[in-house]
Amino acid sequence: LWTQSRIYLQLFKLKKNEVKEVQRILNEYNQK
């Protein structure tokens, strides 16, 4: 949970487009 919180805080600081890109990469990684 702590790590996820840090990730979410970092995503919150990013631009919306960057967040979408990171989410896409995370989704692809999780599907493997």
Q: What is the pTM of this model?
A: 0.42
Question: How many residues can be counted in the chain?
Answer: 32
The secondary element (H helix, E strand) that includes residue 31 is helix 16-31
What is the distance between the alpha carbons of residues 1 and 24, in angstroms, rounded to a whole number? 20
Domain boundaries, the chain: 2-31
Q: Which residue has the higher pLDDT, 15 or 8?
A: 8
Q: Which residue has the higher pLDDT, 8 or 28?
A: 28
Answer yes or no: are the C-beta atoms of 11 and 19 closer than 8 Å: yes
What is the distance between the alpha carbons of residues 4 and 30, in angstroms, rounded to a whole number? 14
| Mean pLDDT value across the chain | 81
What is the distance between the alpha carbons of residues 9 and 12, in angstroms, rounded to a whole number? 5
